[in-house]
A and B are shown apart, each in its own frame.
Chain A
């Protein structure tokens, strides 16, 4: 059980949050093609080391958050609300 320090709620257990993982920007619908759209839907870097990912604090403030987490140690070095850089 990780501790995620929510910018609104403070330190909380990770089971209050839903993991959404890597997110790509949504392609422009009027101009997108299948290849681009499905890369957006399905393809993942799935990198090691530090990764940026989205979580949803569904059992807390219900805000969507961006985390920087280390994929091997699960250490978390930053949490911020989507759209607001820390």
Chain B
């Protein structure tokens, strides 16, 4: 196990003066013939799982296998919003732990993930959405989460660019206000986990694609990759949009469809928007980075696809909705659009736990919430693998719930996601 040089202002100063290079964040390794655990997918879920396996359970003979570069999937394509104001107690509890971990992550990983808790505001444009906001707020309060319904005047106070005047169609009747929510540097979270995991001995294999999963006697025995075979009794599927394809290699069928989720960013302008703004009815969420860009997201694409090329109708629809909320922004310019792949489930809850194939675990079905859940999912999956069974936090999200007909109730909140 290697240790990493500590990052700090002094380190910065020292390197600045000596102009000496920094240590590598993570190293290259050849594939070992076998690992105790092979994690498929080098995103925040996979890397966090590896990190907590090593840190919390001293399981360090672990490989993270990534077909491209780390964070190249959803982890590097999401809009980096973090919140815990979910509709159901199990959801809120789960994401609340995630926020807690995010708050301590910079210290924990000695890597500044730049978590800015600017507050998260979900606008209500109708009585029914106002009712849903109150529903969420009341459940959140019972879970000890800072969440409440605020008036249009409060909304204007917190985000002066919002138009709270009387639209016929999408009036702002109030909002769900969640101060601990905010934005974070998604790449930094990926790199921080990778660096910390590598420091504990985890092997991170980039540009290594999983081509098959070996099964003997009904159990997982290894993984085939583009760089060779690995023997292992434990495989964790953390591949989000590609989850069904990896699961199929282990003869597991999932209740998942892959939907592109598009996002976009504008040119930078001087700071004018502090909180994260979400409109469920308009399928739009907006935040301004410290660089001055507006980051936009919307709902998933209208049809399933593994394509990440994005569409024009996303951009036009998005602009229409953003201007409905903030009409002053008509001459801001959209700079870049992209898409990630979301693993959508019928009840908008994740699928996390063991499967019908012993040794094959899934941490998938996160849909549009995956990034927010990264730390707690990693912690929980690591715990599950170490102890052989799912812990309390993730118990409600097992794959078996679909055949049992005990779906989670996030459905109601999904419409006002992110």
Contacts and interface: CB of A to CB of B under 8 A. Distances in A.
Interface residues of A, number: 24
A44 interface: yes
Contact of B255 (A21, A43, A47): A43
B307 A42 contact: no
B386 interface: no
A15 B403 CA distance: 33
B406 to A, nearest CB: 11
A83 B307 CA distance: 29
A40 B248 CA distance: 18
Interface residues of B, number: 23
Interface string A15-52: 10011011000000000001100110111111110000
Interface string B392-407: 0000000000111100
A38 B402 contact: yes
Given A1-B313, A21-B304, A71-B305, A41 B346 contact: yes
A73 B404 CA distance: 36
B305 A34 contact: no
Contacts, number: 66
B402 A43 contact: yes
Given A1-B312, A1-B313, A44 B255 contact: yes
Contact of A1 (B253, B258, B311): B311
Nearest to A51: B304
A74 B305 CA distance: 7
B303 interface: yes
Nearest to B343: A46
A48 B306 contact: yes
B112 to A, nearest CB: 37
B254 interface: yes
B405 A34 contact: yes
Q: Which of A14, A22, A42 has most chain B Cβ within 10 Å?
A: A42
A34 to B, nearest CB: 6
A44 B256 contact: yes
Given A15-B313, A34-B405, A38-B405, A45 B244 contact: yes
B304 A48 contact: no
A72 interface: yes
16 contacts: A15-B302, A34-B404, A42-B402, A43-B255, A44-B244, A44-B254, A44-B255, A44-B256, A44-B257, A46-B304, A47-B245, A48-B306, A71-B258, A71-B305, A72-B307, A74-B307
Interface of B: 244-245, 248, 253-258, 302-307, 311-313, 346, 402-405
